[in-house]
């Protein structure tokens, strides 16, 4: 897995579906630089079972991300047409109708590869091109990766789950709160920190003082 924390988020320009049904041909995270934090997450496939629970959960709590000035963006290896069809399928029939934030189409799987979340076994040929070991590449999908990207385009947090393991929206929000607390106050966030709790100075004395008072 690629470790991107502390590095520039890989750039891309790809098709996406926004506002629940509008096609955009050159969607990029660069539009948020200097304006918003971004939660960019991958899910394996459209029209599956665990994925809609996550996608809809993000939408149900989208106001909590928006009040923190955070853009939520999903991505899978499906086409924009598959995204559109799923977005226009009622939730009681297995769809994700009502989801309004962008879903990116990573048909060539290059975005997932660059973010280090593409499942399967692959190697590189003498030209540096990716080659799959066996036939796994035909059906390869993205792991459940999530990346918190700051306004400078730097990845500040990443977590990757295997395919059967759904993510926690609460934890995504907690990481946003922790990052924004640090940015605003210059204090670091100790174990199990939550919004409203004290931070601590990033020094040995600061750690000792925090532990003594808790």
Phi, psi torsion values for 72, nearest 5 degrees: -105, 130
Instruction: Give the closest residue to 77 by CA, choosing from 3, 165, 163.
Output: 163
Can you say how many angstroms the Cα of residue 80 is from the centroid of all Cα atoms in its chain?
18
Active site residue 51: yes
**Could you tell me which residues are beta bridge partners of residue 147?**
40, 158
Tell me how crowded residue 10 is: count the other CB atoms within 10 A of its CB: 18
Marked catalytic residue, from 38, 39, 51, 117:
51
Instruction: Give the closest residue to 41 by CA, choosing from 153, 117, 122, 141.
Output: 117
According to DSSP, residue 152 is labeled T
Q: With the CA atoms of 202, 205, 210 and 211 taken in that order, what torsion angle do they form, in degrees rounded to the nearest 10? A: 120
CB 187 within 8 A of CB 199: yes
Helix (H) or strand (E) holding 14: strand 14-18
Catalytic positions: 51
């Amino acid at each position: 897995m690629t470790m991107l924390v502390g590095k520039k988020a890989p750039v891309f320009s790809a098709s996406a579906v926004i506002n629940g049904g509008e096609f955009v041909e050159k969607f990029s995270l660069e539009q948020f630089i200097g304006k918003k934090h971004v939660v960019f997450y991958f899910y394996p496939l459209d029209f599956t079972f665990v994925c809609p629970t996550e996608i809809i959960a993000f939408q149900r709590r989208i106001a909590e991300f928006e009040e923190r000035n955070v853009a939520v963006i999903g991505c899978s290896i499906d086409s924009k047409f598959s995204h559109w069809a799923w977005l226009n399928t009622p939730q009681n029939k297995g769809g994700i109708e009502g989801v309004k934030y962008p879903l990116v189409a990573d048909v060539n799987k290059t975005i997932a590869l660059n973010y280090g979340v593409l499942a399967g076994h692959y190697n590189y040929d003498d030209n540096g091109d990716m080659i799959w070991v066996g036939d796994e590449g035909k059906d390869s999908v993205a792991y459940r990766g999530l990346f918190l990207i700051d306004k400078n385009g730097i990845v500040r947090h990443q977590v990757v789950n295997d395919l059967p393991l759904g993510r926690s929206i609460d934890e995504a929000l907690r990481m946003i709160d922790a990052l924004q607390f640090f940015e605003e106050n210059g204090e670091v966030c100790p174990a199990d920190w939550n919004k409203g709790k004290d931070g601590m100075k990033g020094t040995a004395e600061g750690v000792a003082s925090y532990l003594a008072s808790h």
